[in-house]
Amino acid sequence: MTAALQTNIRPVKVPATFRVVNKQSLAPFRVRCAVTSPGKKRYNITLLPGDGIGPEVVSIAKNVLQQAGSLEGVEFSFREMPIGGAALDLVGVPLPEETISAAKESDALLLGAIGGYKWDNNEKHLKPETGLLQIRAALKVFANLRPATVLPQLVDASTLKREVAEGVDLMVVRELTGGIYFGEPRGIKTNENGEEVGFNTEVYAAHEIDRIARVAFETARKRRGKLCSVDKANVLEASILWRKRVTALASEYPDVELSHMYVDNAAMQLVRDPKQFDTIVTNNIFGDILSDEASMITGSIGMLPSASLSDSGPGIFEPIHGSAPDIAGQDKANPLATILSAAMLLKYGLGEEKAAKRIEDAVLVALNNGFRTGDIYSAGTKLVGCKEMGEEVLKSVESQVPASV
Ligand SMILES: NC(=O)C1=CN([C@@H]2O[C@H](COP(=O)(O)OP(=O)(O)OC[C@H]3O[C@@H](n4cnc5c(N)ncnc54)[C@H](O)[C@@H]3O)[C@@H](O)[C@H]2O)C=CC1
Ligand SMILES: CC(C)CC(=O)C(=O)O
Ligand SMILES: [Mg+2]
């Protein structure tokens, strides 16, 4: 993030928040309070459709979110704002001030994806990806939860053998606002031999490691009690500190079994025996890569949602995939990752667990009914486009009896 942008960002206005988990739990799990009127709750949601398949999947997820909410007495005010290439085309920057302001004033953000061939050769500060990194920094969403679950309906869509994929249920806790994506110094310069040199810095302060490690320990505690910290401590100083701090915190979580793994081994183990993992905690770049890898165990990158959370203030909820320019505008995108991100928005962002469960159940019903987009298609199922898959999920939300949490 540029210094110029930093100075333009106003401090986050923090509305009333409350904790959803026990007292030892962490601020990143705080949820937003709704403005209430008798029998109704209302939240302000900023929609950031972005580029490529982003607008296609966000418009579907918005309808599903609205419907699931209304069945649970929750109303939303949506405000759509530009980010990424769409913002560059509109106003010449990838993250306009107006988008930052709207984001900070809202209760949660639902983001599609950014990027595309058109902007690939832009200067760094004018790339869509810079806008995404800037909004993560502006909202201080340091904790990125990326669940990868192999649904029974999709075992055959996995690229791994049934016996390897079946039953996989893991959570990648990725540090999102530090590390090499943000580290200074960075740049491209000419060295004394007249040769161009590109350089970046992997840097983590102790407090950045501690806060993401705490989120991970808390997450593991609520799952199966196993935490694997992934680093490259055999080579990188930033990883040596990472391992030291994570190890030191383990004594506060005696009920969590901590292990450490080098990232190259972790990449291999994820496809060899993914069921060995419960919760994985790792840095920004390793988490980015390993979660894409983990997505294929579940059948497709089009299935994986995420939640990006801060100490206070709104979270960003988005699929882990990108803008998929190769299939954009063709009604081929799988909207389920974004729909499930809307469920995470309800659960982690707003504490509306019943409405979240409605969405999760509706996705399962649509899959049970045999509907598949191309990326998760297998013989004997019904091939549908992005819109039809969205309609099927919407129908399932509407037809469900109130779900128990
Ligand atoms: N969070 C974000 O907004 C991200 C943006 N990007 C950007 O997206 C653009 C494309 O990047 P890629 O590396 O190609 O990654 P990508 O995730 O957009 O696509 C990788 C492959 O997965 C497929 N795919 C992705 N999402 C899908 C979905 N929902 N349904 C069906 N198939 C899907 C695509 O068609 C493509 O073949 C780049 O500009 C990149 O910088 C990449 C990753 C994350
Ligand atoms: C496009 C990058 C900035 C980020 C990314 O790939 C991700 O967060 O998954
Ligand atoms: Mg990525």
pLDDT at 39: 66
Say how far apart CA 316 and CA 42 lie, in whole Å: 18
pLDDT at 216: 98
Q: What is the tens place of the pLDDT at every residue in 271-291?
A: 999 999 999 999 999 999 999
Q: Active-site residue 395, yes or no?
A: no
β-pair partners for 145: 173, 307
Q: What is the tens place of the pLDDT at every residue in 54-83?
A: 999 999 999 999 999 999 999 999 999 999
* Per-residue pLDDT band at 43 (split at 50, 70, 90): very high
Mean pLDDT of 255-262: 98
Q: Active-site residue 273, yes or no?
A: no
Distance (Å) of CA 351 to CA 37, 227, 342, 398: 17, 24, 12, 21
Question: Within a 13 Å sphere around the CA of 255, how many CA atoms are in the beta-carbon half?
Answer: 9
pLDDT at 401: 60
CA of 176 to the centre of ligand 2 (A): 10
Query: Among the options 156, 169, 292, 331, which is catalytic?
Result: 292
Give, as residue ranges, everything with CB less than 5 Å from ion ligand 3.
288
Q: Active-site residue 377, yes or no?
A: no
Angle between helices 97-105 and 128-138 (to 10 degrees): 40
* Per-residue pLDDT band at 198 (split at 50, 70, 90): very high
Q: Which residue ranges have their beta carbon within 6 Å of ligand 2?
A: 129, 132-133, 288, 320
pLDDT at 328: 98
Beta strands at 108-113 and 315-317: parallel, antiparallel or unpaired: parallel
Query: Among the options 62, 232, 347, 354, which is catalytic?
Result: 232
Say how far apart CA 282 and CA 284 lie, in whole Å: 7
With 70 as the cut, is the pLDDT of residue 3 above it?
A: no
pLDDT at 24: 34
pLDDT at 354: 97
β-pair partners for 110: 47, 317
Average pLDDT, the chain: 91
With 50 as the cut, is the pLDDT of residue 23 above it?
A: no
Query: Among the options 51, 62, 104, 181, which is catalytic?
Result: 181
Q: Active-site residue 232, yes or no?
A: yes
Percent of the chain with pLDDT over 70: 89
Q: Which of 5-9, 82-86, 89-93, 299-303 has the lowest mean pLDDT?
A: 5-9
Mean pLDDT of 112-117: 98
Mean pLDDT of 21-36: 49
322 lines ligand 1 (CB under 6 A): yes
* Per-residue pLDDT band at 144 (split at 50, 70, 90): very high
Dihedral sign, Cα of residue 282, residue 288, residue 293, residue 295 = positive
Mean pLDDT of 240-266: 98
Percent of the chain with pLDDT over 90: 88
* Per-residue pLDDT band at 30 (split at 50, 70, 90): low
Q: Which residue's CA is minimally distant from atom 7 of ligand 2?
A: 288
Q: Which of 3-7, 168-172, 368-372, 386-390 has the lowest mean pLDDT?
A: 3-7
Which residue's entry shows tokens 């500190």?
Answer: 241
Cis peptide before 185 (omega within 30 of 0): yes
CA of 295 to the centre of ligand 2 (A): 14
pLDDT at 289: 98
CB atoms within 10 A of CB 132: 24
* Per-residue pLDDT band at 40 (split at 50, 70, 90): confident
Query: Among the options 107, 231, 288, 375, which is catalytic?
Result: 288
Atom of ligand 2 nearest to the CA of 176: 8
With 70 as the cut, is the pLDDT of residue 17 above it?
A: no
Which residue's entry shows tokens 């302000």?
Answer: 44
Q: Active-site residue 264, yes or no?
A: yes
With 80 as the cut, is the pLDDT of residue 292 above it?
A: yes
pLDDT at 400: 75
pLDDT at 21: 26
**Which residues, 6+ apart, have CB-to-CB distance to 314 below 8 Å?**
32, 46, 103, 104, 106, 107, 108, 109, 139, 349
With 90 as the cut, is the pLDDT of residue 22 above it?
A: no
